[in-house]
Amino acid sequence: MHARGNGAASRSWKDSRMTTAQRPHEAHLAHPDAPAPADALTVPATRATGCPFDPAPTVERARREEPVTRATLWDGSSCWLVTRHEDVRTVLGDPRFSADAARPGFPFLTAGLRELATGTRASRTFIRQDDPEHARLRRMLTAEFMVKKVEAMRPEVQRLTDELLDAMTDGRNSADLVAEFALPLPSLVICLLLGVPYDDHAFFQQRSAVLLSLRSTAEEARAASDELLAYMTQLAEAKRERPDDGIFSRLVARGELDSQEIASMGRLLLIAGHETTANMTALSTLALLRNPGQQARLRSEPSLIKGAVEELLRYLTIVHNGVPRVAVEDVTLGGTTIRAGEGVLCALNAANRDEAVFPGGDTLDVGRDARRHIAFGFGVHQCLGQPLARVELQIALETLLRRLPELRLAVPFEEIPFRHDMGIYGVHALPVAW
Amino acid sequence: MRIHADQEKCCGAGSCVLAAPDVFDQRDEDGIVVVLDAEPPAALHDAVREAAAICPAAAISVTD
Ligand code: HEM
Ligand code: SF4
């Protein structure tokens, strides 16, 4: 294994800022023996210096010039990269492309993901399984995240939002928005929903960060995953004895899942439920601070918030390294034949800038109808938690703008530590003042 | 306009409910789509077409 394994997660944001700023080609560090030429299409791809909101230039160029193209992964293996909106929808919506990570040829974005899917003690979750097994497991959860259920949680999410902002602004005029607001809010919400004690947040946030880091070694990812699974197994036991009205208790009570299935489902929900929304909240705030005209429009027309959140999801597309699939049959896509057994990465971020669907897509426009974005993926694996993510983002951003009219960056923009080193994009910290 | 929603295909993430809340809802027990109004008035046709276009599971079909 060449991958560096210093546990990006445990590093302070200042260290990671230094790392990303000084080593813009860090993706290649994972493979120091075979440095790729500067413009070769490697994934995870490196963003251009100074354009932290835009997809990597290599990926953007691929969409314009060769929308179904070959790319080299961190471990030297290769796969297809699909970049146009229409083609990505086709791949993600077509059962001839499998999400089953145990199939040969499946492309992995990190050593840790490969280890967890193919190692000796692989633990499966429905995000990386196909129907009918995927549908069976997903349908145990769809009622929990359906629109009307989540809409009914608005008062609770609003209360948590206000409490966090009360604490953040109490007697102070600056703070790290990630640590004090963007990360705690979705963590508190998913803990409440699942029935996970929020007091354990340092434990599960740190393990989640290891699992999402592009730099973690297979061993580090394995250890983090095992610890989370053990934690979830213990929690399932506790819920069996003393059920509450959380999702986890209901899953246990169904009696259809063995303890390993319950633990891996809980791990998936806990990680997916807090990391993504946290990063969208902070990165959206930063994008609005950098686009004062859009920010002013949203402040003066708060009713735009729902559409603005869709536009921010599109523009920022935090699942930024591609969604993996493997072909199970030969499929011709845009004139290119993808053979059975070949891996495919769907570049959601490039697809969400596709001019054919979003004219002027490189511009943030909170008045745009962005509903066709695919920041939540597409097909039967499309994000299960999207109604929840929407409600959280709408409330968090609307409240932040309303309560902090003087919100601004507390450090120069150049010093913001972007998450180039993580599977979910965003910022490691966002020092703001008001 | 006549709407058909395939409950087998539906993956229940609710995009149709957000796009056309007068026409689509989700079943209480499992979050799967239900059609509230299979022949909606013309004023809702655009919203229904949008719902069909964004449905990730291609579960909504519309005939004129
Ligand atoms: C802004 C926030 C979020 C973004 C951008 C996002 C993005 C995504 C994407 C792109 C996928 C598809 C992965 C694939 O096809 O391989 C996905 C799946 C999933 N997401 Fe989210 N997500 C977000 C928030 C959430 C939340 C709050 C939850 C809550 C539990 C969640 C739970 C899930 C689950 C369980 C899946 C797997 C669904 C399946 O395979 O059927 N996500 N998400
Ligand atoms: S948009 Fe499609 S998949 Fe989602 S709930 Fe509606 S019918 Fe089901």
Q: A44-66 pLDDT, tens per residue?
A: 999 998 899 999 999 999 999 99
**Structure confidence at residue A119 (pLDDT):** 77
Flag if A143 and B11 touch (Cβ within 8 Å): no
Asked whether the beta carbons of B3 and B38 are under 8 A apart, the reply is yes
Q: Is the CB of A273 under 6 A from ligand 1?
A: yes
Structural domain containing residue A428: 5-433
How would residue A103 be classed by pLDDT, with cut points 50, 70 and 90? very high
Tell how far the Cα of A337 is from the centroid of ligand 1, in angstroms. Answer: 29
Residue A406 to residue A288: CA distance in whole angstroms:
13
Instruction: Report DSSP state, residue B5.
Output: E
Q: Which residues pair with A143 in a beta bridge?
A: none
Task: Write the ipTM.
Answer: 0.96
B50 vs A101: CA distance, rounded Å: 32
Q: Residue A282: pLDDT band by 50, 70, 90 thresholds?
A: very high
Burial A177-207 (b: 16+ CB within 10 A, else e): bbbbbbbbbbbbbbbbbbbbeeeebeebbeb
The verdict on B54 touching A (C-beta cutoff 8 Å) is yes
Ligand 2 binding pocket includes B56 (Cβ within 6 Å): yes
State the pLDDT confidence band at A11, using cuts at 50, 70 and 90. very low
- Band (A39; pLDDT cuts 50, 70, 90): low
A176/A403 Cα distance (integer angstroms): 16
Chain B closest-CA separation from residue A258 CA (Å): 21
A139 vs A384: CA distance, rounded Å? 10
CA contacts within 13 A on the Cβ side of A46: 20
Ligand 1 within 6 A of A247 CB? no
Q: Is residue A129 pLDDT above 50, yes or no?
A: yes
In chain B, residues with a C-beta closer than 8 Å to the C-beta of A93 are: 56-58
Tell me which ligand sits closest to the C-alpha of residue B12. 2
A44-52 contacts, C-beta under 8 A, 24 or more apart: A44/A74, A44/A109, A44/A214, A44/A320, A44/A321, A45/A321, A46/A420, A47/A418, A47/A420, A49/A24, A52/A416, A52/A418
Token pair belonging to A3: 């991958």
B23 lines ligand 2 (CB under 6 A): no
Dist. CA A216–CA A74, nearest whole Å: 13
Ligand 1 centroid vs A191 CA: distance in angstroms? 16
DSSP tag of A427: B
CB of B36 within 8 Å of any CB in chain A? Answer: no
Give the residue among A47, A57, A4 at the shortest CA–CA distance from A24.
A47
Name the domain count of chain A.
Answer: 1
Which residues of A lie inside 8 Å of B (Cβ-Cβ)?
Answer: 92-93, 135, 138-139, 142-149, 371-372, 376-384, 386-387, 390
A9 pLDDT above the threshold of 70:
no
Of residues A278, A76, A267, the one with CA closest to residue A189? A278
Cβ of B30 within 8 Å of Cβ of A138? The answer is no
Q: Average pLDDT, whole number, for chain A?
A: 90
Instruction: Determine the Cα–Cα distance for residues A133 and A156; give it in Å rounded to an integer.
Output: 34
Q: In which residue ranges of chain B is pLDDT below 50?
A: none
Question: Largest Cα–Cα distance of chain A, in whole Å?
Answer: 63
Residue from A353, A378, A134 nearest A265 by CA:
A134
What proportion of chain A, given as a percentage, has pLDDT over 70? 91
Say if the Cβ atoms of A146 and B57 lie within 8 Å.
Answer: no
Domain ranges of chain B: 2-63
| pTM attached to this predicted model | 0.92
On whether the CB atoms of residues A99 and A128 are closer than 8 A, the answer is: yes
Residue A147 and residue B30: Cβ atoms within 8 Å?
Answer: no
**For residue A34, is pLDDT > 70?**
no
**In whole angstroms, what is the distance from residue A70 CA to residue A41 CA?**
8
For residue A161, the domain's CATH number is: 1.10.630.10
Distance to chain A for B1, nearest Cα, Å: 22
Interchain CB contact of B6 with A (< 8 Å):
no
The residue type found at A240 is R
For domain B2-63, the question of CATH label 3.40.50.1100 is answered with no
